[in-house]
Amino acid sequence: MSICVANISKSYKNVKALQDISFNVKVGELFGIIGPDGAGKTTLFRILTTLLFADNGRATVSGWDVVSDYKNIRKSVGYMPGRFSLYQDLTVEENLQFFATIFGTTIEENYDLIKDIYVQIEPFKDRRAGKLSGGMKQKLALCCALIHKPKVLFLDEPTTGVDPVSRKEFWEMLKRLQQKNITILVSTPYMDEAALCDRIALIQDGKILEIDTPEAIVKHYPKPIYNVSANNMYKLINSLNAYQYIHSVYPFGEFVHYTDKRAEFNAVELKLYLESKNLSNIRIEKTVATIEDTFMELAK
């Protein structure tokens, strides 16, 4: 195992940031920690990268204990914190040089590992890091986290605030790094990114709701789910919420995802009900559950 987490808990005064968290990550696995703001993702990353002590439980990274072997862990992992952590006043190249030096290596020595990513920011190598776009900053931060050839990479919300094209590119890079046998633990609040991981842990209020492959998690969704749309989204949601057979309803892009309490759902009856609420252009179609649907159901 690359990462073992056993019964980890952490509180800040009255806030239970992590409650009895356990999971394992295999060598070379791309494992996602998926949860909304405040779920406890950063706290978990800080414990695993030896920057914070847990109140209870044990964790190892590459076989090293996060408390007693912290020095070995610090040498062998890469950590990209959620907030931009690089030196804004240093240039792209100077930042990279700096991180290589503190880990006792050089850019040349491990250039192969970062090459794919670095070529994209190389044209801006003399630009100060503070003047880069969001996507470029993420690429530089990833290069800096990789420059000492870590065995395990911790990426805390690496794509938050990054445009959709750069997000997609970023995940393609992670897939390539994975082929180099680097274990990757990545957190994200974006449910679409969860589908790109080998396995995911859904986390909310410091507790793990479920751990499995994205495909298996979606298959566990317990009910048929329907895309519903109408001329007025706000009124549609309010009307569905007031419907006597509603199990769940929430907005999903241009639709509303609706599930019904009954085993036998009646679309005609629902349409008539919505028409009685003065809605028009009503469409009701069966759809497949996503990770977001599963999360919402488990988090209820």
124-143 binders of ligand ATP (CB under 6 A): none
| E strand spans, the chain | 3-12, 15-25, 30-34, 56-61, 64-65, 77-80, 152-156, 183-188, 199-204, 207-212, 225-229, 246-252, 255-260, 283-287
Shortest distance (Å) from residue 234 CB to ligand ATP: 28
200 binds ligand ATP, rule: CB under 6 A:
no
Specify the residue, 110 or 187, whose C-beta has the smaller distance to ligand ATP.
187
Structure tokens that stand for 243 in this block: 């419907």
Burial classification of residue 272, based on how many CB atoms lie within 10 Å of its CB (0-12 exposed, 13-18 middle, 19 or more buried)? exposed
Shortest distance (Å) from residue 204 CB to ligand ATP: 9
Considering only residues 3, 5, 8, 17, which one is a binding residue for ligand ATP as defined by CB under 6 A?
Answer: 17
145-184 binders of ligand ATP (CB under 6 A): 157
Closest CA to 29 of 140, 133, 159, 184: 184
39 binds ligand ATP, rule: CB under 6 A:
yes
Considering only residues 38, 161, 222, 251, which one is a binding residue for ligand ATP as defined by CB under 6 A?
Answer: 38
Specify the residue, 32 or 110, whose C-beta has the smaller distance to ligand ATP.
32
41 binds ligand ATP, rule: CB under 6 A:
yes
Spell out the residues 6+ positions from residue 246 whose beta carbon is closer than 8 angstroms to its own: 240, 258, 259, 260, 261
Question: What residues make contact with ligand ATP under the rule CB under 6 A?
Answer: 12, 15, 17, 35, 37-43, 157
